[in-house]
Chains A and B, each alone.
Chain A
Amino acid sequence: MRDALIRLRHDLAAAHAVWRREVIRMARDRGQLVGAVSRPVLWVVIFGLGLSPYLGAGFTGAPVGYVAYILPAIVALNILYPAAQAALGTVWERDAGVLRALLAAPAPPWAIFAGKLAGAATIAVAQGLVVLLLAPVAGVSVTPGGVLAALLPMAALALAFGALALALAARMRSVVGFGVFANTLILPAFFLAGSIFPVAPAAGAAALPDWLMLLVHINPVTYAVDELRWALIGYRQLDPVLARGVLAAFTVIPVAAAAATAFRR
């Protein structure tokens, strides 16, 4: 019993070491830091403020403005990018032999996986929070309570997407460009999350095609974005019980799948 506890402490220390390393590395990656700031600026200022006269048409009569509506979705987008980036770093590590050095340590693979995933999620949530600095631009006043409430769906989305990307990365045998990740995973997940168009169009506005609505409802990120909207701007379009149920499943399933397959020696 005592041995098992000592062992568990060592495993957690190893996971903590891996987490710490991931965070330090990210903090020193200038490219990622630039992306974390420029991405939300581009979306909120250019896309949101600049194009809202045209794109916000479906929002006539809606309780929130267009820029406020897309702000929580940009938070989600700024979580999806770094989570996928962390997974890509893992493929690179395998190529460079760094991963082998990790796996040769006494710590079990799950501890290394947990450290990696926690590191990716931490970085992703931090980048998601950066978006909230633009809240005044979007005309949203963010309260401390709202940020706290948003942290849970943010962490859930970061863990889910990080695990999904890690599981995919663990199967990849060579380094592919980040563009592959971005185009096949991030951008569809973002666009099909009701991020820049209403999931339930206001009365009198043009209805969106059924096939698009179907894809939106299948996409688990839709529910995360809905939760984020509720936390940050007090507006939601979906049933809260359904949204939370989907989000919980979306977090648990990829994490379990990734833990089972990733980082075998």
Chain B
Amino acid sequence: MRGAAIAVRELRHTYAGVTALEGVTLDLPAGGFTALLGRNGAGKTTLVHAICALVRPAGGDVIVGGASTADSPRAVRGQLGIVFQDPALDARLTARENLDFHARLYGVPRRERRARVRDALATVGLADRAYARAGTLSRGLKRRLEIARAFTHAPRVLVLDEPTTGLDVQSRHRIWACLDALRARTGVTLLLTTHRMDESGDADRVAVLDRGRLCALDTPDALRARSGGGALRLTLTDADTAAEAAARLPGVSRRSGATLWLADGDREAVRAALLRDPAVWQGVTSLDTGAPSLEDAFLDLTGHETGAAQDA
């Protein structure tokens, strides 16, 4: 692991009295892939905007490749390639023209521009659509074009804010393949925000953000292991049945919708209780002791609310 590509120090920010970030400290190792995981409103986008020097934080600092966003935002911006949450392509320009415009904006020398644009389009598999107007591309292709655009100027860090939101499975897989290829080829540092646990699984490290605080920073495996390894998971017919069962079974550690998690270690007692209570037993639709998913870990870390809110 080389030095930090981005160092976030005690970052604080509020929007009109609402706290978005509450003292976040985070290092992104150069060449690494960090996923920033959090539900909607956790502060992910604010953190991204602070890193891109688009918001001036209320406190703390962000250092990108040795340059501070507060003192030299220009040096910071030049090192970043950004894919924003909202698509931001120029529909009337062709794919190639969109990238060419971006390269000019980022001061890519004229003699390199053409080759850079061509390479970027090829990397995301859009070489054959170079002369198509961006407005005519499908949503998945537009996303890929935006990723291509973000690295046209050869940034050190690629920041992607929920790049796969609203895309179908095939498009998502294509985007992952593009990012893998890009990392393998250029060794670019990747920071990606998502609210999808399955997407964080490919990252070197997952940073979990909740209500403006960093509540975990670890490898996906370590995070999985952290959440009560091998807990028993019961799924019942509906949330009401689950609520009723929760009241009657021993060792229920959490309930989310129609699913109950039972603390590890006391399986005999649980089994006995289940057999003793046919009313509960009949409501059980599945029971498994599989390895904890990253989703379990995430809910363990951030699951304040019970019930449906967590399922959304």
Chain A residues at the B interface, C-beta cutoff of 8 Å? 10, 13-14, 16-18, 20-21, 24-25, 28-29, 96-98, 100-108, 265
Contact = CB atoms under 8 A, between A and B. Distances in A.
17 contacts: A13-B107, A14-B104, A20-B104, A21-B97, A25-B93, A28-B92, A96-B86, A96-B88, A97-B85, A97-B88, A98-B88, A104-B54, A104-B80, A104-B84, A105-B77, A106-B77, A265-B54
Contacts of B89: 98
A24 B54 contact: no
A21 B101 contact: yes
B90 A104 contact: no
Contacts, number: 67
B50 to A, nearest CB: 12
A16 B90 CA distance: 17
Contact of B105 (A14, A29, A265): A14
Interface in B134-185: none
B41 interface: no
B110 to A, nearest CB: 9
Nearest to B89: A98
B29 interface: no
Contacts of A97: 84-88
A48 to B, nearest CB: 34
A105 B93 contact: no
B54 A17 contact: no
Contacts of B53: 104, 265
A89 to B, nearest CB: 10
Given A24-B97, A25-B90, A98-B90, A105 B84 contact: no
Given A106-B74, A106-B78, A100 B107 contact: no
Q: Is the interface of A mostly helix, strand, loop or mixed?
A: helix
A100 B84 contact: yes
* Chain B interface extent, by class: 20 to 34
A13 B100 CA distance: 12
Given A21-B93, A25-B93, A97-B84, A102 B54 contact: no
Which of A16, A28, A96, A106 has most B Cβ within 10 Å? Answer: A106
Contacts of A102: 105
B192 interface: no
B197 interface: no
Interface string B218-248: 0000000000000000000000000000000
A230 B54 CA distance: 48
Contacts of B80: 104
A92 to B, nearest CB: 11
A28 B90 CA distance: 12
Nearest to A11: B107
B92 A29 contact: yes
Given A97-B84, A103-B54, A105-B77, A18 B105 contact: yes
B52 interface: yes
Contacts of A107: 105, 107
A104 B107 CA distance: 13
B284 interface: no
Contacts of A101: 82, 84, 88
B106 A106 contact: yes
B139 to A, nearest CB: 14
B74 A104 contact: no
A90 to B, nearest CB: 13
Nearest to B84: A97
Contacts of B77: 104-106
Given A13-B107, A21-B101, A97-B87, A104 B93 contact: no
A105 B92 contact: no
Contacts of A18: 105
Contacts of A265: 53-54
